[in-house]
Chain A
Amino acid sequence: MIPANIDRQLLKVQKPARYCGGEMGSVQKDREKTDLRFAFCFPDLYEVGMSHLGMKILYSLINAQEGMWCERVFAPDTDFETILRREKIPLYGLESFDPIRDFDVVGFTLQYEMCYTTVLNMLDLAGIPVRAADRGEEWPLIIGGGPCACNPEPMADFFDLFQLGEGEELMLDFLALVRQAKREGLSRRELLRRAAQIPGIYVPSLYDVAYREDGTVAAVTPREGAPAKVQKRIVKDISAMYFPENFVVPFTEAVHDRAMVEVLRGCIRGCRFCQAGYIYRPFREKDPEVLDGQARTLCTATGYEEVSLTSLSTSDHSRLEPLMEEMLPWTQQRKVNIALPSLRVDNFSPRLLELVQKVRRSGLTFAPEAGSQRLRDAINKNVTEEEVLATARTAFEGGCTSMKLYFMMGLPTETMEDMDAMLDLAQKVVDLFDSLPNRPKGRGVQVTISVACFVPKPHTPFQFEPQDTLEQFREKQKHLLETVRSKKIRVNYHDAATSRVEAILARGDRRLAPVVEAVWRAGGNLEGWDEHFSPQRWEDALSAAGLSGDFYACRRRDYGEVLPWDHLDYGLTKAFLIREDKKAWESVTTENCREKCAGCGANHLLGGACFEAHSGVL
């Protein structure tokens, strides 16, 4: 039952279904029979968070444990937030409506830096003091995980601990400790000390950070027996790894409202700008039989009409063809559509291409990321102009009249010629269309180039590189707009200010915690949404703290510098990252992991070679 005080408010807000749960697949448990309550918080709106596979995995995993009850919590939109504050309704779990401040553990997934202020806002809405140091024994443990935990330093003051890497095994180790601590009545301090001994758990309060006069980190020193380096956890055999048999199926539509199976983890490609390509290493595939079974189970349990084969690069699965052969008959019979995001068509066999074309119907997009071959080599984006044009030709001949090309600006080594090359490439696509005798008649072609601002991220070869300044970004954007001549080419770009804040936080240190807090106190919340983002709030908070945004965003790091995240080990050696950065400046590419091991170090997480063909080589 919805409690009356909440029920009374729901008709006053947009999309009340976001705030009352009760969906198919949501888990109800008996309060009396649970001894561990977990609030899984996604610091963004319901429709965004309900698309996150990581949440679905951990939700089901925790709820599969006897006596543990995991609930979902999303950020309320501003209309509901106003009501929650006015009516003094503390933030609650969607399953029980109980206030999450009474739970044992409150966990936030950190997917995107621009959600940091939302984390603080959610804690505050829950009535929980935002700073870890202000929380006594009576408060829940506040923990974090997800990709941004690879440098959580700007959020270190607010969290009790972070879980680095994959959660399927680590979460259970952690929850066993929480249970034991409750039983034995351990103090929070003691619990954290013991948690720090679990591989993959980073307890920031057990590390002292000293800075040099120039603002760089002098040293990070562990205390109370905490390890000098915390190594992220992975699951070695992902075919045997836990995977949910059911999802919560939202009533109101989510961004991705479909079944998902994760076909592989990691990525063999090594695009030098892509954080996910590094922090999720090493590459591991799930067996086709396992995937087929998981997809069937999920479709049966959820009734979804679409199943997505997700990963960072689905076409790199070595047995995609047998998987598709296995899945096509039953999905077609059950009228389930197969979605294939993240496809590269260059390595397809004709049969696989045929299988894929049976299910593929989404619009045509391609991500060359850079305009010139030279720059593509520098960022190790293994796409050639011929591939772009060949894909465009197939699509146009199939009746398509538009194409979207994704690029980045501000990449290391970039020049204005590289910018011009983006437009040249777009023009070549237009010319190709016009030259086709069998092109779709009647309509002209529309090529959209979408240009994002590059954000250097930790644990990538470009972690040492400066980001362009706002002025540089804006000049480049202006140049693009001025040089585009054809009406058949449309240029989309995003304001650079968001990317700058992202860059500051991505490579930030602990001195940014008061800045994040100040921005939140000044009203920062849901800042991933343009309408809620204000760059001025960040600039103000930075200068009030005596810090410079340029120091974090636009500074080149010396290879010898101690980086704020150097004590967090994602399996990659710094020597490898330096090697890759140097190769970028020489426009030299690196083979993908399947062709040749580049020696990044991540194989040590497996305890052997990443690919059988390489064993014995290392």
Chain B
Amino acid sequence: MRLIRVFFEKRDRAKYISHLDLTRCMTRAFARTDIPAWFTEGFNPHVYMTFALPIPLGFEGLRESFDFKLSEDGYPLERVRDQLNAALPPDIRVLEAAAAVRKPEAITWADYRITLWDPAGGEALAADWDRLLAKPAIPVEKKTKHKIQEMDLRPLVTQLGRRVEAESLTLDLRLPGGGAMNLNPNLLLGALWADRGREAEYVQVVRTAILTGDLAPFA
């Protein structure tokens, strides 16, 4: 039995599917192939599959991943990739299947490219964003299962890049990701809307990379 990590991108039409739907889609994709995937045991056996960092509905992902187990150790990994690609809808593409290197707990950061459009224009958006980022603290309320928690987002946000265009603002951000601490960009955007008094007309979020603590791509 080998633990295999499948890296894939999820774009365009596929960005509107939820995590649950993505899991079901992958399960059925496996059923359309002859990949010898290991099934869970028990009352309702299904392909064992874990997603290290589920991607929220509405986000595109350039290098997402999930793990499964090959019950035939020698099964070629290029075949895993090609078979899955033949069995998946066009907007979900497998980039690579490889033996899992790091444990999912190693995931620490996620990089996002966020593009905001607004009739107010890119300059105005940029001004609003800079004002938010210049604050000593960005307090928000984070709802967890049991309670509402106060937290400060400011120290969690690293800005890697910022591009202003006539109607839009594009931000490259590095945010905490992973089991220990995870910041959904929507929480940060919520703070921006609250601060500027309204939402941008249109937002696109792309998760561009998932990184470990040493800033290496999760492998």
A24-B88 contact, Cβ under 8 Å, with A302-B32, A303-B30, A304-B31: yes
Which residues of B have CB within 8 Å of A253?
21, 24
A8, closest chain B residue (CB): B202
- Bound CA span A249–B28, Å: 9
Decide yes or no whether A385 CB sits under 8 A from chain B.
no
Decide yes or no whether A78 CB sits under 8 A from chain B.
no
Q: Which of A2, A303, A304, A305 has the most CB of B within 10 A?
A: A303
* A337 CB, min distance to chain B CBs, angstroms: 10
Decide yes or no whether B182 CB sits under 8 A from chain A.
no
Please determine whether A2 and B12 come into contact, CB atoms closer than 8 angstroms: yes
- Interface hits, A3-46 → B, CB 8 Å: 8, 10-11, 16-17, 19-24, 26, 28
Decide yes or no whether A301 CB sits under 8 A from chain B.
yes
Decide yes or no whether A335 CB sits under 8 A from chain B.
yes
A20-B13 contact, Cβ under 8 Å, with A8-B201, A252-B18: yes
What per-residue 1/0 map shows which CB atoms of B43-74 lie under 8 Å from chain A? 00110000000000110000000000000000
Decide yes or no whether A532 CB sits under 8 A from chain B.
no
A24-B39 contact, Cβ under 8 Å, with A10-B16, A301-B32: no
Please determine whether B89 and A302 come into contact, CB atoms closer than 8 angstroms: no
A22-B12 contact, Cβ under 8 Å, with A8-B202, A251-B21, A252-B17: yes
- Bound CA span A299–B45, Å: 17
Which residues of B have CB within 8 Å of A301?
32
A251-B25 contact, Cβ under 8 Å, with A334-B31, A335-B39: yes
Decide yes or no whether B219 CB sits under 8 A from chain A.
no
* B74 CB, min distance to chain A CBs, angstroms: 22
Decide yes or no whether B27 CB sits under 8 A from chain A.
yes
Contact of B90 among A22, A252, A335 (CB under 8 A): A22
Decide yes or no whether A240 CB sits under 8 A from chain B.
no
A18, closest chain B residue (CB): B16
Which residues of B have CB within 8 Å of A299?
31
- Bound CA span A28–B88, Å: 14
Which residues of B have CB within 8 Å of A26?
89
A21, closest chain B residue (CB): B13
Which residues of B have CB within 8 Å of A65?
none
- Bound CA span A46–B43, Å: 31
What per-residue 1/0 map shows which CB atoms of B8-36 lie under 8 Å from chain A? 00001110111001101101111110000
* B45 CB, min distance to chain A CBs, angstroms: 6
Please determine whether B29 and A303 come into contact, CB atoms closer than 8 angstroms: yes
Which residues of A have CB within 8 Å of B87?
24, 303
Decide yes or no whether A416 CB sits under 8 A from chain B.
no
Which residues of A have CB within 8 Å of B57?
16
A305, closest chain B residue (CB): B31
- Bound CA span A11–B117, Å: 14
* B40 CB, min distance to chain A CBs, angstroms: 11
Which residues of A have CB within 8 Å of B22?
251
Which residues of B have CB within 8 Å of A22?
12-14, 89-91
Please determine whether A303 and B28 come into contact, CB atoms closer than 8 angstroms: yes
- Bound CA span A2–B11, Å: 10
Please determine whether A252 and B21 come into contact, CB atoms closer than 8 angstroms: yes
Decide yes or no whether A413 CB sits under 8 A from chain B.
no
* A252 CB, min distance to chain B CBs, angstroms: 5
Contact of B16 among A20, A302, A303 (CB under 8 A): A20
Bin chain B's interface residue count: 20 to 34
Please determine whether B32 and A303 come into contact, CB atoms closer than 8 angstroms: yes
Please determine whether B12 and A300 come into contact, CB atoms closer than 8 angstroms: no
The majority secondary structure among interface residues of chain A is loop
Please determine whether B201 and A24 come into contact, CB atoms closer than 8 angstroms: no
Q: Which of A21, A26, A252 has the most CB of B within 10 A?
A: A252
Which residues of A have CB within 8 Å of B201?
8
Contact of A24 among B12, B25, B45 (CB under 8 A): B25
* B147 CB, min distance to chain A CBs, angstroms: 27
- Bound CA span A334–B24, Å: 16
Which residues of B have CB within 8 Å of A334?
31
A248, closest chain B residue (CB): B89
Q: Which of B32, B39, B91, B202 has the most CB of A within 10 A?
A: B32
Contact of B58 among A11, A23, A302, A303 (CB under 8 A): A11
- Interface hits, A347-384 → B, CB 8 Å: none
A303-B31 contact, Cβ under 8 Å, with A22-B12, A335-B45: yes
* A298 CB, min distance to chain B CBs, angstroms: 11
- Bound CA span A304–B30, Å: 10
What per-residue 1/0 map shows which CB atoms of B113-157 lie under 8 Å from chain A? 000010000000000000000000000000000000000000000
Decide yes or no whether A617 CB sits under 8 A from chain B.
no
Please determine whether B89 and A23 come into contact, CB atoms closer than 8 angstroms: yes
What per-residue 1/0 map shows which CB atoms of B86-98 lie under 8 Å from chain A? 0111110000000
Please determine whether A2 and B89 come into contact, CB atoms closer than 8 angstroms: no
Decide yes or no whether A241 CB sits under 8 A from chain B.
no
Q: Which of B18, B22, B24 has the most CB of A within 10 A?
A: B24
A24-B17 contact, Cβ under 8 Å, with A1-B12, A8-B201, A335-B39: no
Please determine whether A251 and B17 come into contact, CB atoms closer than 8 angstroms: yes
A11, closest chain B residue (CB): B58
Please determine whether A2 and B28 come into contact, CB atoms closer than 8 angstroms: no
- Bound CA span A19–B17, Å: 11
A304, closest chain B residue (CB): B28
Which residues of B have CB within 8 Å of A303?
27-32, 87
* A1 CB, min distance to chain B CBs, angstroms: 6
* B161 CB, min distance to chain A CBs, angstroms: 23
Q: Which of A19, A23, A253 has the most CB of B within 10 A?
A: A23
What per-residue 1/0 map shows which CB atoms of B173-213 lie under 8 Å from chain A? 00000000000000000000000000001110000000000
A16, closest chain B residue (CB): B16
* A76 CB, min distance to chain B CBs, angstroms: 14
* B87 CB, min distance to chain A CBs, angstroms: 7
* B170 CB, min distance to chain A CBs, angstroms: 15
- Bound CA span A8–B90, Å: 21
A299, closest chain B residue (CB): B31
A300-B32 contact, Cβ under 8 Å, with A22-B89, A22-B90, A23-B89: yes
- Bound CA span A17–B89, Å: 13
Which residues of B have CB within 8 Å of A10?
16, 58
- Interface hits, B77-104 → A, CB 8 Å: 87-91
- Bound CA span A252–B57, Å: 12
* A124 CB, min distance to chain B CBs, angstroms: 25
What are 7 contact pairs spanning A and B, CB under 8 A?
A8-B117, A10-B58, A16-B57, A23-B89, A24-B25, A24-B88, A303-B31
Other than the known A28-B90, A252-B17, A300-B32, what 10 A-B pairs have Cβ atoms closer than 8 Å? A8-B117, A21-B13, A22-B91, A253-B24, A303-B27, A303-B29, A303-B30, A305-B31, A305-B46, A335-B45
Closest 4 CB pairs of A and B: A22-B13, A303-B28, A303-B31, A16-B16
